[in-house]
Structure 1
Amino acid sequence: MNKFDAIIIGFGKGGKTLATELANRKWKVAVIERSKKMYGGTCINIACIPTKSLAYQAHQGEDYIEAVHNKDQLISSLRQKNYDNLNQNENIEVINGEASFLSDHEVQVKDAGETKILTADKIFINTGAETVIPTIDGIQDSKFVYTSTSIMDLKELPTKLAIIGGGYIGLEFASIYSQFGSQVTVLEGSSKFIPKEDRDVADAVLQTFTKKNIEVKLNAKVIGMKDVKDGTVISFSIDGAIQELKVDAVLVATGRKPNIEGLNLEAAGVEVTDRGAIKVDPSLKTTVPHIWALGDVKGGLQFTYISLDDYRIVRNDLFGDHSHTTNDRDVVPYSVFIDPPLSRVGISEEAAVEQGLEIKVAKLPAAAIPRARLINETEGFLKAIVDAKTNKILGATLFCAESSEVINIVSMAIQTGQDFTFLRDHIFTHPTMSEALNDLFSQIK
């Protein structure tokens, strides 16, 4: 039996950062990872970094096969760097294998027929999330169905690609593969396109997709699929009418769920929510006080920067004044890396109206920004929502080039309680996309 001060299950962003923190405090730490291809976690290996690598190269007009090769080299390098960062620390032991609880202090690790039993005073679960595979006739047997992970390993560009699910992950892949040259069809079961966004934003994104020959079919209920010689035929219904679509690749993008399978949480007394996520309090403690959960496995927003903040919360809980909790996350920005990227922070116009708030709305076309014209990326617009009574910024949606950078400026202004005049009158460098915030907020009277 191996005794540690801390066991971390999962090599994700929150877990790996915490491991270094604890090791630097002279804790003896075990980091368990079931796959050697997942050192560093979801973001580095199968999500943020590889998808953004492909998105960037597609935007630059790179050849698909070369782009995949470049992506693989990048991921391999980052994965090795992450492994070395932990493995070379004398206080950290990286252990490969499947982890499962034996009790609230004991974890069993199985790998290639070998079993180890580890014990620790404190345990941290950082096992991430996994793709949800819907119940569709023929989906399990098809040779042409891929997840967001496996499709990026295709060495040949699909001629015709169907994406089941019109959420943000599906839209990113639609944009990427369309730019590489695939004929893309998105099958979305809802009657509303990106329902969390305002309708003017959703309409603008849909128009942009249409210009790029990405077909979006709403109210599309996928019934089944059947493989043929060189692809698969998808059957789906729209308003009761059955249609068929033949493609040579299908991407399943119907969401992700917390990865708790095999952990045997019951043995530790760790409870889960009705959505299958590990139940945590604002300090990320589970229902067992000496066991914490970080990252996607606890449910909620699935972003690597949330996992990093989870680490900060746990660090503060262990060594600080317990002041930093999940209750501090009123303002979290996000970006969807379509072309141009869609970024948002705070509430939408529709949400503000539903809450009965008195608001002022400003909009600015991207074509009015000198930087957008300079780089020849004039698609989209910027939109801001301001509280008419307090002059506080309630939210902003940026559908324009470089919005993933600019949105962080708006986020900080909201987080620090600035009036809209702060961004209206701020001195930005020129020519940049961020200086458009001057013009956007100048429209608020």
Structure 2
Amino acid sequence: MKQYDAIIIGFGKGGKTLAAELSNRGWKVALIERSEKMYGGTCINVGCIPTKALIHEAQTAETLFKDEYKKQAVFYKHAVARKDKMTAFLREKNFNNLTNHPNVTFYNGSAFFLSPKEVKVVLADEELTLQGKEIFIDTGSTSILPAIEGIRDSKRVYTSTTLLDLDMLPHHLIVVGAGTIGLEYASMYAGFGSKVTVIEGGNKFFPAQDRDIAAKVKEDLEARGVEFCMNARVQSIADTDESVTLSYIDAANGTPHHLEASAILVATGRKPLIDSLNLEEAGVQVDAHGAIVVDEHLHTTTPHIWALGDVKGGAQFTYLSLDDFRIIRNQLFGDRTRSTADRNPVPYALFIDPPLAHVGLTEEEAMRHGYSIKVSQLPALSVIRTRTLQKTAGMLKAVIDAQTGRIIGCTLFCAGAPEIINIVNVAMKTGQKYTFLRDFIFTHPSMSEGLNDLFNIE
């Protein structure tokens, strides 16, 4: 049995950063990853990086070849090839960076617990048992496939992971699910030139946002050709010789509908990837959603076993996985003051075109919480930079606590939103009043100077 100071299961953002940190501190570390296609984690291989690269490519395709499907299809094929080259480079870089650490031993195999301190690793040609003083689980998440008749038999059904490998542009793409992943892919493929139909089971579009923001997003996507079928209960999926048919019922009136498409993306969420870990043998509990239960310091129900990243449930963001690493580092080597309770507010970005970013409370949430508020709205085209970029769609919205003058929420649906939201978040995190951004000197012309006008309220 091989002994280690730390065993890390999963080569994700938090796990790989933690492995390097522990190695630099002289810990003997075992890192286990079962898929050679996932070195570096979800983000660089099948998540943030490849999707955002393709979203950028789609914007170029929409500009150069709008309504020219054959040219768009050729461009798309090359875009996928460029994406593959980039992810291969990043995967190799991550692998080399970590395995060059002298105290890190890498195992390409599957891991499962034998006991709270023992982990079996199944390699291609042997099985090993490792023992660790501290064990960290960073196995990420995987796509959810709902119980729909024919979904597992179809050769034209994809997840957000497998669709990234398709180098033939779908003439018609059906997206099942209007969440973050579904909307990003819908916007991206509309940009590449696919006809896109989004199927959503709920009757409220983009429920996480205020109705004015949601209406603006839907209006913009529809203007780019995306069609939405709300209240749609998918019944079955079946392949034909050249296409795939999706059947659904309109829940509002019971009317059956049938749609024919080239491909179907199932974007109905992701779940923690815990299959085969044998967590019960380690005394590690999971919740009703299959997420590993942790405290605010990321200890599981077995204190020397920790969980970080998507596998512990909650918001699935790479930057939170990185912050999980910071919390664990602080617990192991610092003053033990860091926890998951002290990092709010956490911003998020939706990379549609234009992108949407949000931090804090929406107007509706603020009212439910009993705040006395001031609300400011600004059309994106009021920011002069949108005209030089020829990206005038969208709107900006801020929610202010009327009693304290502090910013309690902000939504930016405009060019540059994922970058600008961080400025707002810094102001919120440091307790600045809204006048801080109203009077701040920004460069010109820039999208950030739009904050001067957004927060110019009485």
TM-score range, shorter chain: over 0.9
Q: Give SS of 1:407's match.
A: helix
Give the one of 427, 431, 435 matched to 1:421: 435
- Give 1:252 shift: 0.5
Larger CA deviation: 55-64 vs 6-15: 55-64
Matched, 1:290 2:289: no
Matched, 1:30 2:30: yes
Q: In the comparison of the two structures, how many residue pairs are matched?
A: 444
The whole-number CA distance in structure 2 between the counterparts of 1:225 and 1:122 is: 46
- Give 1:329 shift: 2.5
The whole-number CA distance in structure 2 between the counterparts of 1:384 and 1:66 is: 40
The answer for the alignment partner of 1:128 in structure 2 is: 140
Q: Give SS of 1:38's match.
A: coil
The whole-number CA distance in structure 1 between the counterparts of 2:307 and 2:153 is: 35
The whole-number CA distance in structure 2 between the counterparts of 1:26 and 1:160 is: 54
The answer for the alignment partner of 1:107 in structure 2 is: 119
Q: Any gaps of 5 or more consecutive residues in structure 2?
A: 65-74
The whole-number CA distance in structure 2 between the counterparts of 1:113 and 1:233 is: 43
Give the one of 121, 143, 166 matched to 1:154: 166
Deviations along 1:231-252, whole A, 9 cap, x unmatched? 1110001121100000010001
Identity within the alignment, %: 55
The answer for the alignment partner of 2:52 in structure 1 is: 52
Deviations along 1:164-222, whole A, 9 cap, x unmatched? 10001000000001100000000000000010100000000000011000001110110
The answer for the alignment partner of 1:200 in structure 2 is: 212
Matched, 1:175 2:187: yes
How large is the RMSD of aligned CA atoms in angstroms?
A: 0.7
- Give 1:60 shift: 1.6
Instruction: Judge conservation of contact 2:116–2:282 (CA < 8 Å) in 1.
Output: yes
Larger CA deviation: 322-331 vs 13-22: 322-331
Q: How does 1:6-405 map to 2 (within 5 A)?
A: 6-61=6-61, 63-238=75-250, 239=252, 240-405=254-419
- Give 1:380 shift: 0.3
Deviations along 1:142-184, whole A, 9 cap, x unmatched? 0100000000100100001001100010000000011000000
- Give 1:274 shift: 1.6
Query: What is the identity, as a one-letter code, of the residue corresponding to 2:234?
Result: V
- Give 1:273 shift: 1.1
The whole-number CA distance in structure 2 between the counterparts of 1:254 and 1:274 is: 17
Instruction: Judge conservation of contact 2:107–2:123 (CA < 8 Å) in 1.
Output: no
The whole-number CA distance in structure 2 between the counterparts of 1:438 and 1:145 is: 46
Instruction: Judge conservation of contact 2:359–2:411 (CA < 8 Å) in 1.
Output: yes
TM-score by length of 1: 0.99
- Give 1:70 shift: 0.7
TM-score by length of 2: 0.96
The whole-number CA distance in structure 2 between the counterparts of 1:414 and 1:385 is: 11
Query: What is the identity, as a one-letter code, of the residue corresponding to 1:70?
Result: R
Deviations along 1:292-337, whole A, 9 cap, x unmatched? 0000000011000000000000000111111000001220000000
Deviations along 1:122-152, whole A, 9 cap, x unmatched? 0000000000000000001001000000001
The whole-number CA distance in structure 2 between the counterparts of 1:70 and 1:54 is: 9
Query: What is the identity, as a one-letter code, of the residue corresponding to 2:346?
Result: V
Q: Give SS of 1:208's match.
A: helix
Matched, 1:438 2:433: no
- Give 1:113 shift: 4.4
- Give 1:370 shift: 1.0
Moved over 3 A (4+): none
Deviations along 1:88-123, whole A, 9 cap, x unmatched? 111101101110000111100112242111111000
Query: What is the identity, as a one-letter code, of the residue corresponding to 2:406?
Result: K
Query: What is the identity, as a one-letter code, of the residue corresponding to 1:55?
Result: I
Q: Give SS of 1:71's match.
A: helix
The whole-number CA distance in structure 1 between the counterparts of 2:379 and 2:15 is: 41
